[in-house]
A = this chain, B = another copy of it.
């Protein structure tokens, strides 16, 4: 889902008409583009907005939300593009079917919601083997079934390269949602599971030698078959947590999304970040992988200490407190500190499309 706001100044967003400078998308970047689209919507809505739409969460969170008759409805969409998000020489078609749905389910998990229906849009070259598409469809339907999701429709079209768009529609449990905009100073920051495994898997797939077949399997699974934290998101809601995001762009980048939406700062204690033992043991850059790697699809959440302690009790997975939400002035919205409290500088990490065309994951 669109995951960013306010890259363009508010003055531009709200103007009745905007003069767009003659620039290329590569200069504007992914987040600027999202703001541009958001600007079109805001300008239009300022002039006329039907009140019955009852939009509760629009652009700028993991999923959109609106008030239906008896429920809050949720919807999210995500696209995987060949050679940008996956390499057909490496990923198996069944892994692709799984991942294309999983990343969308993860967005519903990050809202604490219940996924219900999925739509699949496939743009495919006609030289593909039918057998491969069958594996793709079977894997997607299987994962959908794991979470009681019905694949109810979609679209197929011919295209020069593979582009897969999945849309998932769901609802919240009761009236509560996990949002990005509700973090407040003094809260703890916690994360489910371990980080860095997916990015380490990608390094392995790109050539980093790993010899143990069991480790190879763990790394590959983490990268290609992430398990969306649907039940975990619902448990967080039940335990009183209200702020969360799924880690898709990377820990720092996604925590920054929360901080931006909530207008707070965050301090992460690097030694407390839960790095998976396979990553720590085999990848010298394990901290960079855990902080900036992304695609772990774990849940990152904030709450007061007692609520986090309760959530940890209720959840069937590791929960680690990694830092605090703060009003403290920091050099960046998200600061990473060592065991002595000294700030460790880093270059902005996490995926951003269009700018350079590759993820920036520099951490030092």
B353 touches A158 (CB 8 A): yes
A158 to chain B, nearest CB (A): 4
Contact pick for A357, options B41, B154, B158, CB 8 Å: B158
A69 touches B69 (CB 8 A): yes
Q: Identify which of residues 211-248 in chain A touch chain B, using a CB-to-CB cut-off of 8 Å.
A: none
A141 touches B25 (CB 8 A): no
Interface-forming stretch among A160-168, A292-300, A306-314, A322-330? A160-168
A154 touches B28 (CB 8 A): no
Closest chain B residue to A171, Cβ basis = B68
Q: How far is the CA of A22 from the CA of B116 in the complex (A)?
A: 34
Interface-forming stretch among A51-59, A181-189, A256-264, A277-285? A51-59
Indicate how many identical chains form the complex: 2
A161 touches B160 (CB 8 A): yes
The count of residues in chain A whose C-beta lies closer than 8 Å to any C-beta of chain B is 94
Q: Check: A75 CB closer than 8 A to any chain B CB.
A: yes
A-B contact sample (11 more), CB < 8 A, given A68-B69, A73-B169: A2-B154, A25-B126, A28-B130, A33-B122, A43-B141, A44-B145, A59-B154, A66-B152, A79-B155, A121-B165, A163-B165
Q: How far is the CA of A141 from the CA of B34 in the complex (A)?
A: 14
Residue-wise, chain A 128-140 has the 8 Å CB interface mask toward B (1 for contact) of: 1111011001101
Contact pick for A37, options B30, B53, B80, B154, CB 8 Å: B154
Residue-wise, chain A 17-57 has the 8 Å CB interface mask toward B (1 for contact) of: 01011111111101011101101110111001110110100
- Which residues does chain B contribute within 8 Å of A191, judged by CB atoms? none
Q: Check: A76 CB closer than 8 A to any chain B CB.
A: yes
For the complex of A and B, list the 10 residue pairs with the smallest distance between their C-beta atoms, beginning with the closest: A64-B152, A64-B153, A26-B126, A40-B137, A165-B165, A69-B70, A167-B167, A50-B148, A163-B163, A20-B131
